[in-house]
Amino acid sequence: MRGGQRGTLLLAALVSIAITLSVLHNTGVGVPAEGLILQAIDPLRSTLTSVASGASAALTDLQTFGELREENSGLRAELSELRGQVARLSNAAHENGILREALNYLNEHPELQLVTARIVGRDSLDVLDTIVIDRGASSGIRAGMAVVANGGLVGRITRVTHATADVLPVHSPQSTVSVLAQGTEVTADGTLDGTDSGELIMRHIDADDPLEVGNFVMTSGLGGSLPRGIPVGRVLAIEISPASVLRQALVQPLVEPEHLDVLQVIRGQTASP
């Protein structure tokens, strides 16, 4: 039998006994029996007292539990707010770091006319993986201009409106860039193509051109669309096909566009004095 049911039955029994004792006492015929009855029900009273004490303690524990639950809920809300503040501070620090790197790149290349822009959209449904920036014709942006971030090539401008522009990332399967792999003394020429998997492949490398894993890959400037010397990545692996005299290499990009917030458009280059 549960504690609550047992307590109820004991209480009912004591009430019945109390009524009986009252009747016997008032009539005067039950005085001797009254003592015997009180002696008999003494364990019953003790049990009821214990049950009542347990119920009181349970109620106290329940009240304390409610208070602790309310306090815990408040602490969770404070923790959530603190986490939000940490995330906001972390994002601000990350953005400030990117802006500092952009400024450093500008200082290191005073001959380049750079326009800083923010990414305001990404067309993930587009097979070109187009990036949309918040600078356009009003800022002197034109199609074909190179786009860089943190000193590395991001891609090139493909379409311009008055206030925005579309960037074709270098990893897009529609992107092809003339590049060279810089060795210790000589270079290997080729073209850098994006792929459907997002990898960068340097193709059309002459078999006689020196090429090693770890070589820097940069724009060659051929074709005139992109300035020469913009870093693109490093050679990760070299593939040699028995069916061709040409080689190709897997290139690790220096910049991952999907992690960018701020970038720069090379609007022009100051003529050397």
Say which CATH class 113-269 falls into.
mainly beta
Determine the Cα–Cα distance for residues 195 and 248; give it in Å rounded to an integer: 13
Task: For residue 104, name the pLDDT band (cuts at 50, 70, 90).
Answer: low
Looking at per-residue pLDDT, the higher value among 73 and 8 belongs to 73
Q: Are the C-beta atoms of residues 255 and 149 closer than 8 Å to each other? A: yes
pLDDT at 240: 79
Determine the Cα–Cα distance for residues 103 and 114; give it in Å rounded to an integer: 10
pLDDT at 209: 83
pLDDT at 69: 76
Task: For residue 247, name the pLDDT band (cuts at 50, 70, 90).
Answer: confident
Handedness of CA 152, 191, 239, 182 (dihedral sign): negative
Most confident of the ranges 10-14, 42-46, 164-168: 164-168
Residue 181 scores a pLDDT above 60: yes
SS3 content of the chain, % helix, strand, coil (to 5): 40, 30, 30
Determine the Cα–Cα distance for residues 207 and 204; give it in Å rounded to an integer: 9
pLDDT digits (tens, 9 = 90+) for 120-178: 998 766 667 889 999 999 999 999 999 998 878 999 999 999 999 999 999 988 899 99
Q: What integer best gives the mean pLDDT of the chain?
A: 75
Give the predicted TM-score (pTM) of the model.
0.59
Reported as half-sphere exposure (CB side, CA atoms, 13 A), residue 239 has a value of 11
Determine the Cα–Cα distance for residues 128 and 116; give it in Å rounded to an integer: 22
Determine the Cα–Cα distance for residues 207 and 81; give it in Å rounded to an integer: 60
Determine the Cα–Cα distance for residues 70 and 63; give it in Å rounded to an integer: 11
Task: For residue 74, name the pLDDT band (cuts at 50, 70, 90).
Answer: confident
Tokens of 248: 């190709």
Domain map (residue ranges) of the chain: 1-108, 113-269
